[in-house]
Every structure is written in structure tokens, then in C-alpha cells.
């Protein structure tokens, strides 16, 4: 007589739920498992005040995904979980916030993401992936406050579904339309990257940056059999590879090296006008040498100067500069369905003299962000899109940057949205666009 069986996937799923139950208990919140048939949530977590014991019917639903396999796209610092369109629809149009919890069973660790906030970003929705930061998104007792904020983000009462409107979205992604064709590899006896660059700068104070030093070797988009590289590398042992061996690799370490090369290429491509801030990982526009506000450089075909991208603000007595505001952006290269894209996040950087960070920069940034709506951010992105696309273009007068070219994406038509008249524009009634961009 055949015996009954419980599948391995059932056991793994139960281990995932058990891990979540343990973490919720450590938070001193309440755990409710759905049980039985469920369409897309495994349970809910009710927020409880650990000091008073008070509960106010603030709950967050959760979907558990447990695995004993390697995390998808694991880079050591991040990974992703793919989702179907039906799953996303179910999670984001419900009456309660839903979080996704991925449990890495062998390592006894879990990671979480607020799905409504994540998929509210158009490019995240377009990729149908949830990307987890392995440092910031750990689901443990320390996430209790963040989880409570997710539960409290909605107003009391029922949620209404997003109106089904036809809307056009502009993803803040640019496609990598062209890149270097060859990657050069050469061993070096200077394995430490900081020492490597220190010796290079003794030869050339302003070296090109499209090079990465890893594991006793240098890899670059530029031919290493040239100064200053030949003086710090063994070019006699140099090898050349088609760029596809890195761009299409499934090896996480090689992919990280390739992303580093792309990052360095981005810095070099804009170096004539922008400066990299390593602490915040931003590129921001440099000030003019004459102390005047800088406008976006004209591109081919333009007759007027572009938007102001560096602006100084004076103290009340108008005799001294209080601080400088620089248009800036953060970026991340991602591979989607075999193609490479760069995700652009417009922001601002503040300095006290055009170079050194202003100690009140965070306060300035918080203040300006309170007055920015979608149209303002879209205008910033379109500004950077035009600038970055132009940097890789060539014509009779300008060869363009040789190792990286970017192209805009077509807008995405979606069948849902929010009527403009429902937005409360109290914040912007007395704010002119010039105040944000002048």
C-alpha cells in the first residue's frame, strides 16, 4: 500500500513561515497565518505597541518565498525575486499593504520589501522584479519600526483601488545602445586598487578611469599596452576578450567587474562637466570658474543655453555665498532580458564653495524635495537624459565618448493611474519652477 508523502517544497515553505513567525515574535507583534487555500498572501502581521500592549488594527499582509537554492542574481550585496504580472496586480490593488519576504533557509536569514512602494516606481513595475539589498532589507527584529511605518502609511479605513485610467509613464531608464567592443586584461604586481591608482597618478595626474583592478590583474576598456598602464601592468601577458564575455556572463564575480567598468566609464563620459562624490555615490555638475551660475551645456542643434544646473545662494547680507546647489544624479547599471540599462535617479548635491560638501546639505535637500511633484522630477530626468545621450553621440566636430552610448526608452502606456485633480497641490501653490531649477 503506497504511503502518503509531503513534498520537499512543502517542507521548505513551512520552514520559511516558521522563520517569519520567529522574527515577528521577536518584534513582539502578532502573527496570523492564512492557512488553507490562498491566492497570494500567506498571512498577516498586526502591529502591537511593545510598551503598552496596545493594538489598533494596523496590519500588514505578507507573502513568503522560501528557498534552499542560490538567490537569483546574487551579487553578494543584492539579489532579486521575479514576479508575474498577476501577482503584482493582486498585491498592489488590495485593501492592505503587502510585503514580500524571501527566506534563505540554509543561511537562516530573511529579507523583505514593501510591495506597494516598490512597484509604485514605473521602472520597477516594468522589470517585474523585486530587488533586495542584503544589508538594508534584512527581516529581523530590527525591522520592527520600518514595518510599523508600512502599516501606518495608509489612512484609516478602506483602501480604494487605483482608478483604471490610460496613462503614459516615462521610465527613468536609459538603454546602453553601444559600448566598448574589447576588454583588455593584464596581470599587475600591485593588487591593491588604492596603491595602483597612486602609482598611476605619479605618471599621469589625470589618467583615464575605465579600468578595474581585481585579483592581481587589471581589466579595462582601453588598451593597456600604452602609458601609463604599461608601466604598472605586465603587458607582455596581456589578453584581449570580446566584451560579450563579460556583458553576457552568468558568473556573478565577472558581472560585478563589468558593472564596475561601466560605472567608471560613466564617470569618464561626463568628466568634462561633472564631478563624482564618493561618499554619496553621486555625479554632480561642477561650478563655473568665474563664479557664475552654470547652465546645462548646449548640445548640437540647440540655440539657447540649457537649464541652470549649478546655482549659488547668497547670505542675507548678499556679500557672502551661503551655499551652492548642484543638479546631480545617482545611477545603477542593470541587465534586463539580456540587455544593459542604466537607472537614473535625479537629485541635488550641496556644497559650501562649489566643491566641499555643505554641512547643512541634508536639510537643504529635504526642503526642496518637499516641494517636488512628479512633473518636476520628470523634467529633471529628461534634462539628464538629453545630456547623457548627447555625450555618446558623434558628428563631424565631436567624436563622442567611445566606450559608452545611451539611448532613451519609449514611454510605457498603462491602464491605470490617478486623476490629476485628486492630488493635493497645497505645497506647490506658491512655488515657481524657477525656485527649483533656476
The most confident of the ranges 188-192, 223-227, 397-401, 411-415 is: 223-227
Would you give the distance in Å from CA 1 to the centre of its chain?
56
Give the residue-averaged pLDDT of 46-75: 89
Residue 299 has pLDDT above 60, yes or no: no
Tell me which residue range forms the domain holding 322: 272-437
For cell 530626468, the residue is 381
Given pLDDT bands bounded at 50, 70 and 90, which one contains residue 396?
low
pLDDT digits (tens, 9 = 90+) for 163-220: 556 677 788 899 999 999 999 999 999 878 889 999 999 999 989 989 999 888 999 9
CA 411 → CA 122, 375, 414, distances in Å?
10, 15, 10
Would you give the distance in Å from CA 231 to the centre of its chain?
36
Give the residue from 129, 161, 193 where a domain finishes: 161
Residue 433 has pLDDT above 50, yes or no: no
C-alpha cell belonging to residue 62: 505578507
Domain annotation covers residue 380: yes
Give the residue-averaged pLDDT of 116-129: 87
C-alpha cell belonging to residue 23: 522574527
Q: Contact at 8 Å (CB) between 106 and 69?
A: no
Cα 20 from Cα 61, distance rounded (Å):
12
Based on the domain organization, do 155 and 28 belong to the same domain? yes
- Which pLDDT value is given to residue 114? 92
- Which pLDDT value is given to residue 105? 92
**Of 130, 89, 129, 162, residue with least CA distance to 337:** 129
CA 155 → CA 44, 71, 117, 143, 152, distances in Å?
18, 35, 15, 21, 7
Domain annotation covers residue 80: yes
Report the domain count for the chain: 2
**Of 369, 373, 370, 366, residue with least CA distance to 423:** 373
Domain annotation covers residue 294: yes
- Which pLDDT value is given to residue 240? 95
Domain annotation covers residue 188: no
> Comparing 145 with 303, which gets the higher pLDDT?
145
The pTM of the whole model exceeds 0.95 = no
**Of 85, 83, 88, 169, residue with least CA distance to 414:** 169
What is the H or E stretch that residue 67 is in?
Answer: strand 55-67
Instruction: Output the DSSP codes for 109-141.
Output: EEEEEEHHHHTTSHHHHHHTEEEEETTT-B-SG
Question: What proportion of the chain, given as a percentage, has pLDDT over 90?
Answer: 49
Given pLDDT bands bounded at 50, 70 and 90, which one contains residue 306?
low
With residues binned 3-state (H G I as helix, E B as strand, rest as coil), the percentages for the chain, rounded to 5, are 30, 30, 40
Give the residue from 161, 196, 220 where a domain finishes: 161
228 upstream amide cis, omega within 30 of 0: yes
For cell 523634467, the residue is 379
Give the residue-averaged pLDDT of 88-111: 90
Residues 87, 93, 96, 98, CA torsion sign? positive
CA 256 → CA 259, 307, 370, distances in Å?
5, 35, 35
Based on the domain organization, do 151 and 280 belong to the same domain? no
Based on the domain organization, do 277 and 157 belong to the same domain? no
Question: What proportion of the chain, given as a percentage, has pLDDT over 70?
Answer: 84
Would you give the distance in Å from CA 377 to the centre of its chain?
15
CATH label of the domain that carries residue 76: 3.40.1350.10
Would you give the distance in Å from CA 74 to the centre of its chain?
16
Give the residue from 143, 161, 179 where a domain finishes: 161
Domain annotation covers residue 262: no
Cα 225 from Cα 231, distance rounded (Å):
9
- Which pLDDT value is given to residue 415? 61
Domain annotation covers residue 107: yes
- Which pLDDT value is given to residue 335? 92
Q: In this structure, what DSSP letter does residue 184 have?
A: E
Domain annotation covers residue 241: no
Cα 296 from Cα 284, distance rounded (Å):
12
Given pLDDT bands bounded at 50, 70 and 90, which one contains residue 419?
low
Name the β-bridge partners of 348: 327
Q: In this structure, what DSSP letter does residue 378 have?
A: H
Name the β-bridge partners of 294: 310
User: Whole-number mean pLDDT of the chain?
Assistant: 84
Q: How far apart are the first and last CA of the chain?
A: 81
For cell 545611451, the residue is 406
Give the residue-averaged pLDDT of 268-275: 93
Cα 212 from Cα 214, distance rounded (Å):
6
Instruction: Report the DSSP pairing between strands 98-104 and 55-67.
Output: parallel
Domain annotation covers residue 144: yes
Amino acid at each position: 500500500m503506497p504511503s502518503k508523502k509531503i513534498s520537499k517544497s512543502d517542507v521548505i515553505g513551512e520552514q520559511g513561515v516558521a522563520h517569519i513567525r520567529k522574527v515577528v515574535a521577536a518584534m513582539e507583534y502578532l502573527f496570523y497565518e492564512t492557512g488553507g487555500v490562498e491566492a497570494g498572501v500567506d498571512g498577516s502581521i498586526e502591529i502591537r505597541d511593545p510598551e503598552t500592549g496596545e493594538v489598533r488594527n494596523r496590519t500588514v499582509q505578507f507573502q513568503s518565498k522560501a528557498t534552499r537554492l542560490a538567490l537569483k542574481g546574487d551579487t553578494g550585496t543584492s539579489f532579486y525575486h521575479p514576479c508575474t504580472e498577476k501577482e503584482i496586480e493582486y498585491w498592489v490593488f488590495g485593501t492592505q499593504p503587502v510585503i514580500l519576504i524571501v527566506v534563505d533557509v540554509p543561511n537562516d536569514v530573511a529579507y523583505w520589501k514593501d510591495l506597494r512602494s516598490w512597484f509604485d516606481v514605473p521602472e520597477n513595475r516594468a522589470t517585474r522584479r523585486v530587488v533586495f539589498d542584503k544589508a538594508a532589507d534584512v527581516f529581523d527584529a530590527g525591522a520592527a519600526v520600518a514595518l510599523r511605518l508600512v502599516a501606518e502609511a495608509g489612512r484609516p479605513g478602506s483602501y480604494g483601488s487605483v482608478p483604471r485610467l490610460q496613462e503614459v509613464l516615462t521610465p527613468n531608464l536609459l538603454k546602453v545602445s553601444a559600448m566598448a567592443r574589447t576588454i583588455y586584461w593584464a596581470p599587475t604586481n600591485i593588487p591593491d586598487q588604492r596603491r595602483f591608482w597612486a602609482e598611476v597618478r605619479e605618471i599621469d595626474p589625470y589618467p583615464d578611469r575605465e579600468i578595474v583592478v581585481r585579483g592581481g590583474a587589471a581589466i579595462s576598456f582601453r588598451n593597456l599596452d600604452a602609458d601609463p598602464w604599461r608601466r604598472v601592468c605586465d603587458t607582455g601577458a596581456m589578453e584581449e576578450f570580446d566584451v560579450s564575455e563579460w556583458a553576457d556572463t552568468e558568473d556573478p564575480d565577472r558581472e560585478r567587474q563589468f558593472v564596475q567598468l561601466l560605472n567608471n566609464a560613466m564617470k569618464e563620459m561626463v568628466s568634462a562637466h561633472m564631478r563624482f562624490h564618493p561618499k554619496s555615490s553621486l555625479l554632480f555638475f561642477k561650478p563655473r570658474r568665474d563664479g557664475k551660475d552654470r547652465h546645462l551645456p548646449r548640445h548640437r542643434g540647440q540655440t539657447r543655453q540649457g537649464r541652470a544646473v549649478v546655482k549659488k545662494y547668497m547670505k542675507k547680507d548678499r556679500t557672502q555665498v551661503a551655499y551652492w546647489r548642484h543638479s546631480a544624479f545617482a545611477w545603477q547599471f542593470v541587465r534586463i532580458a539580456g540587455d544593459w540599462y542604466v537607472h537614473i535617479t535625479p537629485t541635488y548635491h550641496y556644497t559650501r564653495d562649489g566643491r566641499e560638501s555643505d554641512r547643512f546639505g541634508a536639510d537643504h535637500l529635504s526642503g526642496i524635495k518637499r516641494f517636488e511633484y512628479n512633473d518636476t522630477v520628470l523634467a529633471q530626468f529628461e534634462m539628464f537624459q538629453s545630456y547623457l545621450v548627447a555625450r555618446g553621440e558623434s558628428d563631424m566636430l565631436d567624436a563622442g565618448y567611445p566606450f559608452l552610448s545611451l539611448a532613451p526608452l519609449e514611454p510605457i502606456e498603462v491602464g491605470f493611474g490617478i486623476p490629476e485633480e485628486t492630488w493635493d497641490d497645497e505645497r506647490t501653490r506658491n512655488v515657481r519652477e524657477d525656485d527649483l531649477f533656476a
